Structure 1
């Protein structure tokens, strides 16, 4: 009997893997097509956006206001912000775009949301690795001080993006106008996400409020891994983990509640 349950679990896991894989391929083909560079746009698009920001900071001589490498400062902030913003934004509309697939027994509402967010996270991750590799190769930035700490920060922020996306998707299903409003709200959140500042550079009375924002801890953690002891950071990984767990719990509960009323069309 135990062996039967074990086999059943692994079979379910393999089915889930195939479903997510198929949804990812469908999303890539739908968004990028089969011609030209096709799926390469998955990471070329965020790569170009990040490169544009880096070049602006580089050639506008922003490095004159700080002793730190301003290119490294930009590349350790902007891509991470793009990841959680794009992933949560793409979660909106994931159900309506794939609602006909819900006729298939193994496809669930949650699968369609996960597939879209995973695609955005994968694209941002590849873009970050490629861009940092190129910038290190041309000596615009130095090697990171602690690659493992950077990877941990990126992973925690990827989980944050998923949790946030689930909540945003559920709210937008309940209140349709919120889906249109989220693009503006997430844009407004950019300046307070830690992308363009170190917490240490803020006035002391403002630091307390900045550290209540989960994205700030992710960015500070990522930069702590890159700059090491040459920068003062105030990240708290445990606070970010707690925020992730809360978002995931609420997000999954909200999606589970509304998905029962979703009918394939």
Structure 2
């Protein structure tokens, strides 16, 4: 609650910005993609649906991990409270961002399906699994990157170019089936691309060719989670209440 009030305040629509902000970004991208890739394009899938299944996944990891950077310093005074720990700062920001992007994604999908611009999903459960794996990866990376920043501010500077580098290999902009075999193998080494492919598989079904490896993603997420928890635990011992 403190994080919500600190970030969005009590004025205007307040905490509703948690959902409205990612929705506005997504709507803007949907409009641009629909104009640039209309029904006359070489691909038979809807540009609106493609942009929704792609850009919404970008918002998840980009916003969440970005919020975990420098999460401790503004909240260090709260460590005077016995029940507040360093990991709570990260968990609060991770939870808020994941909730915001998830609800905005659901609202936009329901809205565009209700007005008939996009069809109903083929397999909702696969979409849920893909989204859940993506959220797990995001939370683990948020802990890892946020914890490493407490050891060196260089990590903060490095994360931004790394985030931009991850865009072309995230699977959100180009599907794995559209890539040459050599490029596809490289892209699918990144857990995010597998999650996006599974998410799109759930929406499109057999309409498109998708590639993903769920056990591989789970193994990567488990390793990243352990590393993230270890780094945050080590960083907590270096933090002193202000």
| TM class by smaller structure | over 0.9
Deviation at 1:227, TM superposition (A): 0.1
Q: For 1:186-224, what per-residue CA distance to the aligned partner results, in whole angstroms no more than 9, with x for missing partners?
A: 122112100111111101121111111111000000000
Q: For 1:84-110, what per-residue CA distance to the aligned partner results, in whole angstroms no more than 9, with x for missing partners?
A: 111111011111111000000110000
The alignment's TM-score, normalised by the length of structure 2, stands at: 0.97
Query: Which of 47, 68, 76 is the aligned partner of 1:99?
Result: 76
- Give the 5 Å matches for 1:124-139: 124-139=101-116
Which residue in the other structure is 1:225 paired with?
202
The alignment's TM-score, normalised by the length of structure 1, stands at: 0.89
Q: Please tell me whether Structure 1 or Structure 2 has the larger radius of gyration of its CA atoms.
A: 1
Deviation at 1:148, TM superposition (A): 1.1
Runs of 4+ in 1 over 2 A off after TM superposition: 60-63
Query: Which of 71, 75, 80 is the aligned partner of 2:57?
Result: 80
Deviation at 1:40, TM superposition (A): 0.5
Which residue in the other structure is 1:174 paired with?
151
Q: Which stretches in structure 1 are left out of the alignment for 5+ residues?
A: 1-24
Deviation at 1:56, TM superposition (A): 0.5
Give the Cα separation in 2 of the matches to 1:60 and 1:257.
Answer: 48
- Structure 2 contact 67–93 (Cα < 8 Å) conserved: yes
Which residue in the other structure is 1:191 paired with?
168
Deviation at 1:62, TM superposition (A): 4.2
Q: For 1:6-56, what per-residue CA distance to the aligned partner results, in whole angstroms no more than 9, with x for missing partners?
A: xxxxxxxxxxxxxxxxxxx11111111101100000010000001100110
Query: Which of 24, 30, 33 is the aligned partner of 1:54?
Result: 30
Deviation at 1:65, TM superposition (A): 2.5
Deviation at 1:61, TM superposition (A): 3.3
Which residue in the other structure is 1:249 paired with?
226
- Give the 5 Å matches for 1:151-166: 151-166=128-143
State which drifts further: 185-194 or 111-120: 185-194
What CA RMSD, in Å, does the superposition of the two structures yield over aligned residues?
Answer: 1.0
Which residue in the other structure is 1:45 paired with?
21
Give the Cα separation in 2 of the matches to 1:162 and 1:120.
Answer: 10
